[in-house]
Amino acid sequence: MGSRETNVIDCAAAVAGRILCDGAFVFADPLPAESTPDIGGWEAIGVELTFAGAESGAVSVWAGRRFISRVAANMLGADEGGERAREEGVDALGELLNMIVGNLLTELYGTEPLFNLGLPREAKRNRLASDLSERECIWFEAEGEPVLFTVQL
């Protein structure tokens, strides 16, 4: 891995961890490669956000339903197992991703370049395999659950 890729991954990992904490009140630790889930059996939901401008690319986040409900519950102050947390889970995850990408672009490129961020979109389940093979991947464990961020620049 070249130095630029290492810098992007390190930066993305730091920003994602900070936003998970500050935005969703979730503490996340790096997940060792040997502890990542079997993709075939992982019931993950993905959200992707693309950006264009001085640089273009995409960032996606994949997580299980329980984690997504936890995030929504934390952000909304709602019951984790409640209907509201379940219904707004994907929206909450998308908004977290929005915050991560916005802050990541500033960390990587500063405040001079202009970027246009797309709207967060739920990704089809079959995108997970291609994300894993084609993009830089950052695994976290958050609240006992695996969370995957993929970055394409």
Partner 1 sequence: MVVDDSETIRSVLERTIRMTKLPVDRILEAPNGRVALTRLADDWVDIVFTDLNMPEMNGMELVDAMNADVGLSDVPVVVVSTEGSRARIESLRRKGIQGYLRKPFTPEEIRDIIVETLGAWDG
Using rule CB under 8 A, residue 95 touches partner 1: yes
d(CA 116, CA 14): 22
Using rule CB under 8 A, residue 94 touches partner 1: yes
Please list, in sequence order, all residues whose beta carbon lies within 8 angstroms of the beta carbon of residue 116, skipping any fewer than 6 positions away: 51, 52, 53
Side chain identity, residue 27: F
**Residues of this chain, 19-58, that bind partner 1 according to CB under 8 A:** 19, 22-23
Query: For residue 46, what is the DSSP state?
Result: E
Q: Among 48, 61, 88, 149, which residue sits at the site for partner 1 (rule: CB under 8 A)?
A: 88
Largest Cα separation within the chain, whole Å, is: 45
d(CA 121, CA 4): 27
Choices 1-9, 28-36, 102-110, 125-133; region in contact with partner 1 by CB under 8 A = 102-110
Using rule CB under 8 A, residue 119 touches partner 1: yes
Using rule CB under 8 A, residue 12 touches partner 1: no
For residue 139, the number of C-alpha atoms closer than 13 Å in the C-beta half-sphere is 14
**Under rule CB under 8 A, how many of the chain's residues touch partner 1?**
26
Q: By C-beta, is 76 or 132 nearer to partner 1? A: 76
d(CA 130, CA 153): 15
Q: By C-beta, is 34 or 96 nearer to partner 1? A: 96
The contact set with partner 1 (CB under 8 A) reads 19, 22-23, 72, 75-77, 88, 91-92, 94-95, 98-99, 101-103, 105-106, 111-115, 117, 119
